[in-house]
């Protein structure tokens, strides 16, 4: 395998507490062989002047639609999009067709994930066929390669079943990821309940739908001592619940997505279904609370909830499925909205998008330590660009960030010592 020597990069690596440290990095045999000053080796040299060297991002909430809906996305196209966004590891959700609820489907996913442009880690279902009634075989799923369990796409309907899942997950060593939503409160709503939904005359989803379910999961984690991770946190109330629980020592973690820090429900005044999510885009007050949750450590992960859909499916505002693509824009968007505005440092952001999610799911990435897999990116914080759906690398184009001007762009992505994405000129010297 080709050797690589990266020179002149500003290295940011939360696993080592390095914040824009100028060092050289040598890649040999697919791993980080050395980090230091003035390294020399018989290697291909990359002059990274002006770029930041970061560990590859670890996105623990991705829908690859494979198997069953590969016209929207498949494992190969999803990983190609991931590489373009600097994401080198993805955890794919189980709401596929068939559902990823048994070793056989896990095996199919892992077989397809060989030699693609990102590492693929399957999340298996909590209940069989996402039925909310019958717990899957957690030890068998763990043995087959699952890294976590979730019924994402649907909540686990009863507290009793979720309690069993937390207990079984703790025994099997499988983190439990919760889609926290009370469907009896959601009641067919298609966007956040508030001023905008009333103006549009469409049914809304009250924040209490998310908050009631989040409170349940926290109560169960407190009662059992078993960890729970709350996915796609979107409301002020949920942030406050998680903050209070963590202060009390409850083993709960929370994630949010880029669209919950950059957009509000006001975008839906356009009746453009690309802005329809679940949970829905919320109010400015909720966005402010999510931002504060990231700043004070209440929320420890940013994940995309990458959810591709075909154009014809998104054509009807009222009937469209929820979700948006996000793998290619996540780092640039968060850099623009969080780092450029002074809300977070690049070190903080890298922890939220690489190191923390890797630790949460016990994955090998998210670090630039010697001996770690050479999953890394070069990110140019000065490049200004506009999101164009037709330039995206995945199969689907349903981005809510279309036309948005962003600052910062991934120029180079390496996966296990293999170059999987490059953008622009001027990096290569030999």
Catalytic residue annotation: 305
User: Bridge partners of 26?
Assistant: 5, 34
- Cβ neighbours, 10 Å, residue 398: 27
The Cα 261–Cα 243 span in angstroms is 17
3-class state of residue 51 by DSSP: coil
Task: Measure CA 25 to chain center.
Answer: 26
The Cα 175–Cα 165 span in angstroms is 10
User: Bridge partners of 419?
Assistant: 414
> What is the number of residues in the chain?
430
The Cα 231–Cα 270 span in angstroms is 27
The Cα 78–Cα 400 span in angstroms is 17
Say if CB 64 and CB 92 are below 8 A apart: yes
The Cα 47–Cα 43 span in angstroms is 12
Say if CB 198 and CB 233 are below 8 A apart: no
Query: Which has the closest alpha carbon to 290: 366, 236, 347, 249?
Result: 236
- Cβ neighbours, 10 Å, residue 256: 28
Contacts of 118 (CB under 8 A, 6+ apart): 78, 79, 82, 83, 87, 88, 89, 90, 415, 420
Query: Which has the closest alpha carbon to 104: 73, 131, 125, 80?
Result: 125
- Cβ neighbours, 10 Å, residue 249: 9
The Cα 184–Cα 401 span in angstroms is 31
């Amino acid at each position: 395998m080709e050797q690589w020597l990266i020179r002149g990069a500003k290295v940011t690596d939360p696993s080592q507490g390095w914040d824009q440290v100028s060092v050289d990095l040598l890649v040999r045999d697919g791993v980080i062989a050395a980090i230091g000053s003035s390294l020399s080796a018989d290697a291909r040299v990359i002059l990274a002047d002006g770029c930041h060297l970061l560990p590859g991002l670890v996105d623990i909430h991705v829908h690859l639609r494979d198997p069953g809906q590969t016209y929207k996305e498949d494992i190969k196209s999803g990983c190609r999009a991931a590489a373009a966004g600097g994401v080198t590891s993805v955890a794919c959700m189980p709401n596929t067709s068939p559902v990823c609820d048994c070793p056989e489907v896990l095996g199919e996913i892992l077989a397809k994930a060989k030699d693609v442009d990102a590492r693929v880690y399957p999340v298996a279902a909590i209940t069989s066929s996402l039925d909310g009634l019958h717990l899957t075989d957690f030890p068998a799923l763990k043995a087959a390669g699952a890294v976590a369990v979730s019924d994402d796409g649907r909540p686990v309907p009863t507290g009793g079943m979720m309690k069993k899942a937390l207990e079984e997950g703790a025994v099997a060593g499988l983190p439990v990821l919760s889609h926290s939503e009370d469907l009896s409160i959601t009641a067919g709503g298609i966007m956040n309940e508030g001023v905008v939904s009333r103006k549009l005359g469409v049914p809304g989803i009250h924040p209490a739908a998310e908050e009631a379910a989040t409170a349940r999961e926290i109560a169960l984690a407190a009662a059992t001592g078993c960890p729970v991770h709350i996915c796609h946190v979107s409301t002020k109330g949920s942030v406050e619940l998680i903050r209070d629980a963590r202060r009390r020592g409850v083993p709960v973690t929370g994630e949010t997505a880029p669209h919950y820090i950059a957009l509000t429900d006001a975008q839906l005044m356009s009746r453009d279904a690309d802005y329809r999510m679940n949970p829905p885009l919320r109010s400015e007050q909720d966005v402010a609370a999510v931002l504060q949750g990231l700043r004070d450590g209440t929320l420890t992960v940013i994940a995309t909830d990458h959810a591709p859909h075909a154009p014809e499916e998104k054509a009807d505002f009222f009937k469209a499925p929820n979700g948006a693509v996000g793998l290619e824009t996540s780092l640039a968007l968060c850099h623009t909205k969080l780092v450029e505005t002074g809300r977070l440092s690049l070190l903080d952001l890298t922890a939220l998008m690489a190191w923390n999610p890797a630790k949460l799911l016990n994955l090998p990435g998210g670090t630039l330590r010697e001996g770690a897999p050479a999953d890394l990116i070069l990110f140019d914080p000065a490049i200004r660009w506009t999101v164009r759906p037709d330039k995206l690398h995945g199969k689907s184009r349903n981005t809510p960030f279309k036309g948005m001007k962003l600052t910062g762009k991934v120029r180079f992505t390496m996966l296990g010592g293999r170059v999987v994405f490059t953008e622009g000129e001027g990096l290569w010297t030999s």
